[in-house]
Amino acid sequence: TQLPSAGTTPNLSLDAAALRYERWPIRTEAAKCVDERPLRILRVALEAECAAACAALEGCGAAAHDVRTAMCELMETCLLMEADVSGVVVHFTLAGPRPSLVSWSTIAIVVCHYRATLGWMRRLAATDNIGYQLAVYSKMNLGAGESRATATVRRAVADAAGARLTFHQTLPNLGRQGGGREPHAYLSFVRTFLPNLPHTVIFTQDDCNAGTCPWVPFVLRHMSYPNATAGPRRRISHRGPSAGMGEALNRPSPASCLCNFVREEFFVPGRYGQYPLMVTVRHGLFMPQKHVPPNISWPRAANFAVSAMHIRSRPMKVYDALLRLHVVEGFCYGWGTLGGAHALA
């Protein structure tokens, strides 16, 4: 999945009412839609022509272009995709504003939103002198009634987030059983804003009402601004206390991740359910090792903070591959998106 690249422009107003929701495509290569009946089938030579035909057809939510046959299928939606070397699927979704117009300051809280109520967000937004911005990704079963449903969600998110809302996008709830889950939203943010990240990113689920998000009290205690121009009183860092600019970054730790940090000592074949997929991804994208350590650490409930420096320590191709793992069924040796989400979230 490839989103428009982000650039650096003057700061955008954080007035939620000013967000411009525009219709623009999300493109997925080498994939085909499964179990969808086309609204219309056309023969067009170019992918762009196929996408334009969908944008012009009422009720069209996705277009699939076959580069071998020049066939273009226009569909109401495409929530389930499988790997196919010849296919290109273009999803149309509502987003606003365009990523190239967004400028981040110091702290961004990225929320993967599905159906939970957002009262906690309203209480957080009402707190004075908190220097953060909100990016909300609303996952929806886009299809029939898309315009009405997304308009309702936009109003609910804007009402809860208030002036803190800087970016809001609806995402198709891709995969079997919504297999993309939180990684789909988190990786979409990284893939979109990697050139223009805030100093700190807090990734979170949408169900923080019952005190299940450990980053919330930290935000309320430490991320206040003494005046309009000063930075936060405390920044989250994943570097050692005396690390210089040329030194390697440390991994997120219990002291820095603002998460419920879990460490397990039974990461071995036959005992750890997602071991084969996790080791495959680890060797293929991160750090090939002859001997895999028998322990693993991860943030519970997909709530954690990370610095921009740590995110940028990986090249873009890593995030491209991880995002594809969560939007295309069977992309990695036949594993499904839900298995990928359980392995990486």
- Domain with 46 in it: what CATH number? 3.50.4.10
The residue type found at 24 is W
- The verdict on pTM exceeding 0.85 is no
Residue 145 burial (10 A CB sphere; 0-12, 13-18, 19+): exposed
Provide the domain limits for residue 203.
101-224+256-345
Of the three residues 47, 75, 95, the one that is the final residue of a domain is 95
Domain count, the chain: 2
Identify the sign of the CA torsion 83, 85, 87, 88: positive
Tell which residue, 178, 160, 190, has the closest CA to residue 99. 190
Q: Looking at the structure, do residues 168 and 31 belong to the same domain, yes or no?
A: no
Of the three residues 54, 77, 95, the one that is the final residue of a domain is 95
Q: Report cis status (omega within 30 of 0) of the bond before 97.
A: yes
Task: Write out residues in the chain with pLDDT < 50, as ranges.
Answer: 1-14, 16, 144-145, 224-249
Are the beta carbons of 311 and 190 closer than 8 angstroms?
A: yes
Residues 69, 212: Cα–Cα separation, whole Å: 51
* pLDDT value at residue 4: 30
* pLDDT value at residue 204: 93
Query: Which pair of tokens denotes residue 81?
Result: 């995709």
